[in-house]
Amino acid sequence: MSSRAQVYFIALILIIAGLGLTFYKAHEMDFPLAKGESRQVWTVESVVKFKANKEASGDPVKVSLTLPSQQTGITLLDEQFTSNGYGLTTEVENNVRRVVWSTREAVGPQRLYYKLQLTHDGQQQAERLPEPIAEPESGLSKDETIAAQAILDMAYQQSSDTDRLVRRIIQIIETKDIPEVDFLLKQNLATKSKPKLVKSILALNGTDATMVRGIYLEDGHRRLPPTEILAVFIDNDWHLYNFGSERDTTLDNFLIWQIGGESLLDVEGGYDSDVRFSIISNLMSAQKVAIWNTLNADGSESDFTIFSLPIEQQSIFKLILLIPLGALVVVFLRVIIGVKTSGTFMPVLIALSFIETSLTTGLPVFLTIVIVGLLIRSYLSKINLLLVARVAAIVVIVVGLMGLISITSFKLGIEQGLMVTFFPMIILAWTIERMSIIWEEEGPKDVLVQGSGSLLVAIACYFVMTSEAVKYLAFNFPELHLATLGFIFILGQYNGYRLSELFRFAQVAKSEDSWNMPESKTPNATKSGDA
Amino acid sequence: MITSPLTLKRMGIMGMNQRNVDYIARYNDRRYYPLVDDKLKTKHAAIKAGISVPTLIGKVSHQFEIKPALERLKQLNQFVVKPAQGSGGKGILVITGREGDYFLKPSGEHISLMDVQRHISNTLSGLYSLGGRNDVAMVEELVNFDPRFNDYSYQGVPDIRVIIFKGFPVMAMMRCSTESSDGKANLHQGAVGVGLSIATGKSLFAVQNDRLITHHPDTNKSFEELDIPHWETILTLSASCFEMTHLGYLGADIVLDNELGPLILEVNARPGLAIQIANQIGLKHRLETIEAMEHPEMSVADRVQWSRDHWS
């Protein structure tokens, strides 16, 4: 009995600690308990990757990255640099901020991080674009000018005004209608920039254009290259054009990183350089944002929360922090309800895949793979294979099925079928293997019972893990998981009946009424009946 | 059909959670599990403890031992091959006779020496074992079942399950396979469970698929006349498994041999709860009575007598 008391004691402490910390965080640190009463804070992380010139170790490496400045509608709250032993300076030149990392020690692949927090009130305007140049320079060589002129002429004939001209030029470049495009793109290979090519072509027409580099603020994007928007000066106004996107080109929701200029990133002493952006949004109370805004760079060393992690890891944690709740659901359904599942925590993993694919597409795809897999597996059991080899064979078959489903659905125009790749293959293979063993050992009825049990639990986990409130609390108040742990402890000590057992033993209970058991005469029955 | 948890509690029906938390976790030390999970180890321990088991003819542990083993099997008329760590009765090959070079199965099917070889090879590579682990094939003497039970079972073999708590027999049942259970003695697959009186070994109730029945569905034999012979021996054998395995809460599976009498087939560290349905009574009150005893340290015979005196 004392061990049980111990468990309850620990569980109680965990629950009190979890709820207490949450309460403290909500009231003393002004973290809002619900979404809504808060401001959205965007965290943008840029990763600079390059390879240092190998043989030249000891040679200086200098990396220079343009930084965004304060702009209308966007408030920059805080920024952090991770420099891994590099010397770090920031400099301002022509109102453009740049960070410069430098070292003599770099060998092999290098990574540098710059992280930025900002709030955005949706009133972004393009008013910061520079004064246009009356006679812009194309910067093209003689051969290139001829090719560019050919494109311009073609576009000019097929358009009525400057706006249409620009659209037509973009179209010609995108579709590569005439061979000159390929030639020019090859010449332009160093920058690989189509917008830049358009800018040069327009210069021949005497129209000024400039490039706006930055990123759209959209939650959960990872490792995106910078978006390049072309701004063209037409009729005393800047018009915006976007490549490779159907969307209306506006600067709403756009964090401008750089206007004009040659490039975002310059690396000396390295090659294969690349800059990528990850974006995540979290919610913080307006007050917290205000405090942060005033304190700014202070105290980031002592910040021991998930928010101090790189953003890529943060978005992974958004998912990971849901898993304890999935586990709690599994324990509840197993211990209190008595749902039979195949594999204890497999349903949580299936639910995680459903989160990626959404339930409506994930469920049919999952069922298709498992059913087809079972059919093929039934043949495998005729030829005797060792277990490991058999599961490995199923993994290969699952890969094949995934490819088949992707291709078939793509050809049929059902894009949801492509989601199949979100299912972890090993999980699928094990599900099939287990189901098939149950089929052989206990018959199809048990496959149905345990299979639908697993799916039921997976769907329950899915609904818990996709609930907005749960997602918000799990990520912003990870200390709540102490309480989750406490509840799991308590459930682990539950020795009462499962709901399913009320059905299972119903017949015995019924017989008690009609038969008036002879057993009840035994002394022990009355004795322990009181207990 | 549903019932209230209060009714179940009053009747002392034990649920899965209670079995796991209050009995298996508390009374069964994990380090004693390997002894019961491996039938070969169980058998050796049983022989050491003087408990009757089917005679072991030999074992095959490695693929290279199969060939010499087959030479020996050729000289036998009857034998059983089973995996030491098999689960749910899988992989048991029963040979009841010979016809020339062929071996005869109980169904009358003829199999060749090659088939026997493949069966043993599969057993060794873990085809029939929990988790597919490499296993050992045991060759045992065939149990000649007491003909009195012939009509109580369809195809399979009826076995007797006795729950032993702290060495006291607390509940017993006979499991009879049926056509719908496909010859398997598993209650949730449609086998018949017959509750047995601890005091007398006579039948109390018979249950199939959670419904009370009076006759075997395939052979139409009435369960009312069922009276297990050697009842005292059966209880004594099962009760002595407590000393042998050190498990506080266990299920002993017993078969009756025509000549040798009751034999322990295997011991289960996590016996199921269906026995309560077959007996139409809960385990809880009986277990609590034993838990409340001040001096449970008695000899095997005393414990058996104590149980028979207390429970009909």
pLDDT at A522: 41
pLDDT at B297: 85
* Regions of chain B short of the pLDDT cut 70: 88, 130-132, 183
pLDDT at B166: 94
How far, in Å, CA of B84 to CA of B80, rounded?
A: 12
More confident residue, B102 or A294: B102
What does the block give as tokens for A320?
């990971």
pLDDT at A416: 67
pLDDT at A528: 39
* Inter-chain residue contact A384 with B127, CB threshold 8 Å: yes
Chain A residues with CB under 8 Å of B211 CB are 507
Q: Does B75 touch chain A (CB under 8 A)?
A: no
* Inter-chain residue contact A498 with B15, CB threshold 8 Å: yes
pLDDT band at A15 (very low <50, low <70, confident <90, very high): very high
Contact call for residues A18 and A88 (beta carbons, < 8 A): no
Contact call for residues A321 and A475 (beta carbons, < 8 A): yes
* Inter-chain residue contact A501 with B15, CB threshold 8 Å: yes
* A490, pLDDT greater than 70: yes
According to the per-residue pLDDT averaged within each range, which of A135-149, A155-169, B34-48, B88-102 is highest?
Answer: B34-48
Rg (C-alpha) for chain A, rounded Å, is 31
CA distance A16 to chain B (A): 25
* Per-residue pLDDT tens over the stretch A218-271: 877 788 888 888 888 888 778 888 776 655 567 777 888 888 776 788 888 888
pLDDT at A301: 44
Rg (C-alpha) for chain B, rounded Å, is 20
Nearest to A68 by CA among A275, A240, A305: A275
Q: For residue A491, what is the nearest residue in chain B, using CA coordinates?
A: B17
Query: Which residue ranges make up each domain of chain A?
Result: 142-263, 338-469
Q: Is B307 helix (H, G, I), strand (E, B) or coil?
A: helix
* A433, pLDDT greater than 60: yes
Percent pLDDT > 90 in chain A is 11
* A56, pLDDT greater than 80: no
Selecting from B21, B87, B281 the residue whose C-beta is nearest the C-beta of A517 gives: B281
Ordered by where they begin, the domains of chain B are 5-52+146-310 (3.30.470.20), 56-140 (3.30.1490)
Side chain identity at B89, as an amino acid letter? G
**Please, what is the average pLDDT of chain A?**
79
pLDDT at B79: 92
How far, in Å, CA of A133 to CA of A158, rounded?
A: 26
* Inter-chain residue contact A505 with B310, CB threshold 8 Å: no
pLDDT at B232: 93
* Inter-chain residue contact A497 with B8, CB threshold 8 Å: yes
Selecting from B2, B132, B281 the residue whose C-beta is nearest the C-beta of A506 gives: B2
Q: Which residues of A touch B (CB under 8 A)?
A: 335, 338, 384, 386-388, 441-443, 492-498, 501-512, 515, 517-519, 522, 524-525, 527-529, 531
For residue A181, give the H/E element and its range.
helix A179-187
* Per-residue pLDDT tens over the stretch A357-407: 888 888 888 898 889 888 888 888 777 676 678 778 888 988 888 888 888
More confident residue, A165 or A460: A460
Q: For residue B212, what is the nearest residue in chain A, using CA coordinates?
A: A507
Side chain identity at B301, as an amino acid letter? A
What does the block give as tokens for B205?
């109730």
CA distance A507 to chain B (A): 7
Q: Report ipTM for this prediction.
A: 0.80
Cβ-count burial B157-190 (b if 16+ within 10 Å, e if not)? bbbbbbbbbbbbbbbbbbbbbbeebbbbbbbbbb
Phi, psi of A453 (to 5 degrees): -60, -45
pLDDT at A34: 67
According to the per-residue pLDDT averaged within each range, which of A71-85, A134-148, B137-151 is highest?
Answer: B137-151
Judged by average pLDDT, the poorest of A13-27, A80-94, B102-116 is: A80-94
How far, in Å, CA of A499 to CA of A501, rounded?
A: 5
How far, in Å, CA of A424 to CA of A407, rounded?
A: 18
